[in-house]
């Protein structure tokens, strides 16, 4: 059975100037690769993933 991450821990990006810069970067990418527009992330969802290794199968795993 393969290992698949089901949860992650992240820190929300709240700095408005950083959000604007990330939006600008997305614009530059989409200008060059228009098909990537479907992967654009809204600035309200910007975050930094801290941990992406949890595989929780149910509530009992969350209580451990």
State residue 38's pLDDT score. 96
pTM (2 d.p.): 0.68
Give the total number of structural domains in the chain: 1
Q: Is residue 62 part of a domain?
A: no
Q: Is residue 63 part of a domain?
A: no
Compute how many other C-beta atoms are within 10 angstroms of the C-beta atom of residue 10. Answer: 12
Q: Is residue 14 part of a domain?
A: yes
Mean pLDDT on 37-63: 79
User: SS3 for 9?
Assistant: strand
Q: Is residue 23 part of a domain?
A: yes
Q: Is residue 2 part of a domain?
A: no
Mean pLDDT computed over every residue of the chain: 84
Q: Which residues form the domain of 50?
A: 7-55
């Amino acid at each position: 059975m393969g290992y698949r991450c089901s949860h992650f821990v992240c820190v929300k990006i709240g700095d408005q100037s950083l959000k604007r810069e990330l939006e600008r970067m997305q614009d530059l990418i989409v200008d060059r690769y228009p098909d990537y527009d479907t992967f654009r992330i809204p600035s309200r969802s910007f975050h930094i993933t801290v941990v992406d290794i949890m595989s929780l199968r149910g509530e009992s795993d969350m209580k451990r």
